[in-house]
Structure 1
Amino acid sequence: MLGRLLEGSARQGGTLLAISIFAGLLLPPLASALRDVVTPTVALLMTLILLRVDFAQVLSYLRRPVMVAALLAWLLLACPLLAYAVVRAVGLATGLDGPLGAALVIMATGCAATSSPAFARLVGLDGEIALVASLLSTLLVPFTAPPLALGLLGIDLSLSVAALVGRLALMVGLPLLVSLVIRRLAGPERLRRWGRAVDGAVVLLVVLYGFGVMDGVLAKLLAEPAFVLGGILLAFAGSAGLNLVTALALAPAGRGLALSAGLLSGNRNMALYLAVLPASTDARILLFFALCQFPLFLSPFLLKPIYRKIA
């Protein structure tokens, strides 16, 4: 019974994720109750993602350092510069010369979302390159994002390398050890049979995460509806724009890689910034990072039909 439930969750993953983000928004007590489970949920999520990863394929990507370096340079350097150029070009006419424009540029400096491998698998793309880019971009973002934000916007992100390393040890190191133990105990054949159930469990964990990150957003929506709705529209535009321009730029590397890179580029890890940025950061910028969860959670539901046609 449990196995069938989890397999059903995997089949309906995009729909469940889309529902969860709105449920978290419209049910504030539920969002508040689940706020404190976000960190352990992410750790367990990474454990299950690592159970589904083909490590041979991961190693094959790591043996192509030029390709990986080019992908990371595009994600962490080129995308923020492109976002800044757009904000500068249309800022005065669209109102992007204020905190929303700054927040969009900072969003583009972010690392790929931790859930990217799971989302890539949900829409039929390459989960292994998504894992490589997600982990390596998270390691590099403390060295790329602060100078870009300071040089382009005059904003001090104050990302602590020590805090980020500690977070990575909890969110990646521990899940890696646990997943290796489970792989050894279960064996490859049993893991293969459990594959769809594990995918379903991943979906349910991301659903819990979606509830928790919406804590307080409804109150902001009621207090500042124009700003919040504008922020949501900008988050969708930024996500779609980064996705499209990345897929086009990397098309010469192959359609599958380009589409996976586009998904990575459009879905950035704003939860990391929310966790490590100081309280003195502009509250409107922090609110925009929370609003970026809408395109993140809706992307599998909205993009899967498109990827089916062109992947």
Structure 2
Amino acid sequence: MGIFAGLLTPPLAAALRDVVTPVVASLMTLVLLRVDPAQVVAYLRRPVLVAGLLAWLLLACPVLAFAAAWLTGLATGPGAPLGAALVIMATGCAATSSPAFARLVGLDGEVSLVVAVLSTLLVPFTAPPLALGLLGIDLSISMPALMGRLVLVVGLPLVLSLVIRRLVAREVLERWGRAVDGTVVLLVVLYGFGIMDGVLARLVAAPGFVLGGIALAFGGSFALNAATALAFLPAGQRVALSAGLLSGNRNMALYFAVLPAATDPRILLFFALCQFPLFLSPFLLRPVYRRLRVEE
């Protein structure tokens, strides 16, 4: 509702554009508050698998995306901003909603939780060197500045969640768990409104570019999903499908919160368009997961 209502009500989307950064920080805090660090540590029963997943998601996928952009001609010419945005999308951490999506479609929520949390904590140290250093993408910000902003947006919510967990009794947190989850849903709706600011105007002004960006967002999401699932098939079908879901759904909210206004607007537009596959693909792919599980 948030992304479509935000798309169709430009004044409201514009009014909520400036709250995107604080909403992202609040979302991170509440999501991390609902994650027990001891539970994450206890879930690390397959450290080799988790390390392999993190390396694939944060290091291998950006290189694959860059290779795909180069082979399809998106690395240069008029499509270069979309090619750069596709690569940056692939550097992102797994969406914090991934564990919920995994459980919703019957996949491995345990592995999804561990990888989503750890990739979020690691992305400030992997994405900037890859995007700005190795791949040379111009984001109008230096590597140290981008790393610093990501550390702040990820680290501050982590510290706040740990402080709250330390000050508030476990029983109280559990009792208020559903209220916290409900607040997260409301914040996601606000984020959906704000993130759609300007998208309708761009759709009217340049429908080919926007529709092409939507197609690329879905194509990139599904391609990362499929490539990851195939790469981890030896670990078992359920784990492989869960890994694919993690890889295809990346957290673009962090980049919206930290990238400067001087960043190419076409790149920022693509990040907004990535919200469509992020919110819709788990439901679009649900029949596929159901059929594969039946065959298994």
Shorter-chain TM-score bucket reads 0.7 to 0.9
Q: Which range moved further: 213-222 or 131-140? A: 131-140
Q: What do the CA deviations read for 1:30-69 (whole angstroms, capped 9, x no partner)?
A: 2223334434444454455456546665223335332221
1:163 aligned partner: 149
Q: CA deviation at 1:214?
A: 0.9
Q: What amino acid is aligned across from residue 82 of structure 2 in structure 1? A: L
- Structure-1 separation of matches of 2:76 and 2:215: 12
| Between 274-283 and 122-131, the greater mean CA deviation after superposition | 122-131
* Distance across 2 between alignment mates of 1:164 and 1:305: 36
Letter aligned with residue 69 of structure 1: A
Size of the aligned set, in residue pairs, is 289
Retained in 2: the 8 A contact 1:87–1:96?
no
**Residue in structure 2 matched with residue 81 of structure 1 by the alignment:** 63
Q: CA deviation at 1:179?
A: 5.0
User: For residue 147 of structure 1, what is the aligned residue in structure 2?
Assistant: 129
Equivalent residue letter for 1:241: A
Instruction: Return the alpha-carbon distance in structure 2 between the equivalents of residues 154 and 187 of structure 1.
Output: 44
Say whether residues 1:275 and 2:257 are aligned partners.
yes
Cα distance in 2 between the residues matched to 1:41 and 1:92: 32
2:277 is matched with which residue?
A: 295
- Out of 15, 38, 48, the position equivalent to 2:20 is 38
Q: Quick check: 2:20–2:257 contact (8 Å CA) kept in 1?
A: no
Structure-2 change in CA distance of 1:184 and 1:51 (3 Å): same
Please state how far the C-alpha of 1:227 moved relative to its aligned partner: 0.8
Partner of 1:172: 158
Q: How does 1:29-108 map to 2 (within 5 A)?
A: 29-46=11-28, 48-50=30-32, 53=35, 57-91=39-73, 98-108=80-90
Does the 8 Å CA contact 2:75/2:84 hold for their aligned counterparts?
Answer: no
**CA-CA distance at 1:241 after TM superposition:** 0.6
Residue matched to 1:230: 212
* Contact residue 31 and residue 96 of structure 2 kept, 8 A: no
Higher mean C-alpha deviation, range 109-118 or range 227-236? 109-118
What residue identity is the alignment partner of 1:238? Answer: G
Q: Name whichever of 221-230 and 235-244 sits farther off.
A: 221-230
Q: Given the superposition, is the C-alpha separation of residues 154 and 113 from structure 1 closer, same or farther in structure 2, using an over 3 Å criterion?
A: same
Sort the Cα spacing of 1:129 and 1:92 in 2 relative to 1 into closer, same or farther, 3 A: closer
- Amino acid paired to 2:53: L
Instruction: Give matches, 1:111-260, under 5 Å.
Output: 111-150=93-132, 153-157=135-139, 158-159=142-143, 160=145, 161-178=147-164, 184-186=170-172, 190=175, 201-260=183-242
TM-score (norm 1): 0.79
Root-mean-square deviation (CA, aligned residues, Å) is 3.0
Give 5+ residue unaligned stretches, structure 1: 1-18
Query: How many angstroms does 1:288 deviate by?
Result: 1.1
- One-letter amino acid of the counterpart of residue 67, structure 1: L
Structure 1 residues 190-237: Cα deviation after superposition (integer angstroms, max 9, x where no partner)? 57xx66x76555434322321121112111212221111111110000
Q: Unaligned 5+ residue runs, structure 2?
A: none
CA distance in 1, matches of 2:167, 2:263: 40
Q: 1:112 to 1:187 in 2, by over 3 A?
A: closer
Mark the CA change 1:132 to 1:284 in structure 2 (over 3 Å): closer, same or farther: same
Contact 1:79 1:109 in 2 (8 A): yes
Please give the secondary structure, in 2, of the residue aligned with 1:98: helix
Per the alignment, residue 11 of structure 1 pairs with none
Specify whether residues 65 and 86 from structure 1 end up closer, same or farther in structure 2 by C-alpha distance, changes over 3 A only.
same
Larger mean Cα displacement after TM superposition, 289-298 or 57-66 = 57-66
* Secondary structure in 1 matching 2:106: coil
> 2: distance between equivalents of 1:275 and 1:45?
12
Structure 1's 216 and 180: CA in aligned 2 closer, same or farther, altered over 3 A? farther
Percent sequence identity over aligned pairs: 73
